[in-house]
């Protein structure tokens, strides 16, 4: 698929990896609609020349309204890049007792169910085929202490790739996932430089945090490379978390 023919929805597109992906696609000549729960994303979208819809990815009606807005504005839809998600930390059994079921459910609901909700509804709008790219994480394979909920949600996303690709092959829709390592996003920057430097030491090479622009570049490559389908690509500088 040519980027100039791309009509893309990017969830979580007002910040972090999503925002970098929006910029990269627009710079390459694509049409982009940003889905974000935060209404502040409207000004970000307007500044870049993107369409904006305030969307809760876990809510079917909200996603449908967002897709209606996106399709009307762009004249169609052929790419979805799911970046919306949350990062949580809570041990299975901590000092205050067992992991709260409510927080586990919320993580699964936003990260996994929300991703699938957008993907399934968007697939029905891709009348001429397309590409769905979901965001997993290396936590899907190397989950750390306190990441039971997060790692489970991201492992689910990695597990979606092949069966969804098989389901949607008859519709000409490819499905891929990216599993990023440790990226320099606003959320991580809030931890401070010392913490970020410590995290970067575990990366094999290059020994630094990932740049969101590198995630965006991979997403663009997946869109353009028609033979990529049904798998998850690690983007982590060969990091294997201990």
C-alpha 124/C-alpha 94 separation (Å) is 43
Tallying the residues shown for the chain, one arrives at: 242
Whether 150 is catalytic = yes
Paired residues of 180 in beta bridges:
235
C-alpha 110/C-alpha 84 separation (Å) is 8
Q: How far is CA 144 from CA 49, 140, 168, in A?
A: 39, 10, 33
Closest CA to 235 of 226, 223, 213: 213
Q: How many CB atoms are closer than 10 A to CB 192?
A: 10
Q: Looking at 150, 210, 212, 234, which residue is catalytic?
A: 150
Q: How many CB atoms are closer than 10 A to CB 4?
A: 9
Write the CB contacts of 242 (distance below 8 Å, at least 6 apart in sequence).
202
Are the CB atoms for 154 and 136 separated by under 8 Å? yes
Q: How many CB atoms are closer than 10 A to CB 180?
A: 24
Complete DSSP assignment for 167-204: HHGGGTEEEEEEEE-SB--HHHHTT-HHHHHHHHTT-S
Q: Which residues are catalytic?
A: 150
């Amino acid at each position: 698929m040519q980027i100039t023919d791309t009509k893309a929805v990017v969830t979580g597109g007002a910040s972090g990896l999503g925002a970098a992906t929006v910029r990269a696609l627009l710079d390459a000549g694509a049409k982009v609609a940003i889905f974000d729960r935060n209404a502040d994303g409207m000004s970000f979208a307007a500044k870049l020349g993107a369409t904006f819809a305030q969307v809760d990815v876990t809510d079917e009606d909200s996603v449908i309204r967002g897709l209606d807005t996106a399709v009307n504005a762009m004249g169609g839809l052929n790419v979805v890049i799911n970046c919306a998600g949350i990062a949580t930390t809570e041990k299975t059994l901590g000092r205050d007792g067992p992991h709260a079921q409510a927080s586990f459910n919320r993580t699964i609901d936003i990260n996994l169910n929300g991703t699938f909700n957008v993907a399934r509804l968007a697939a029905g709008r891709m009348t001429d085929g397309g590409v769905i790219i979901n965001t997993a994480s290396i936590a899907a394979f190397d989950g750390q202490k306190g990441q039971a909920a997060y790692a489970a949600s991201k492992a689910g996303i990695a597990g979606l790739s092949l069966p969804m690709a098989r389901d949607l092959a008859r519709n000409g829709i490819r499905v891929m996932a990216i599993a990023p390592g440790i990226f320099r996003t606003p959320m991580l920057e809030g931890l401070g430089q010392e913490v970020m430097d410590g995290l970067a030491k575990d990366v094999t090479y290059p020994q630094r945090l990932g740049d969101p622009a590198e995630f965006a570049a991979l997403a663009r490559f997946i869109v353009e490379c028609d033979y990529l389908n049904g798998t998850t690509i690690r983007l982590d500088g060969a990091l294997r978390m201990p």
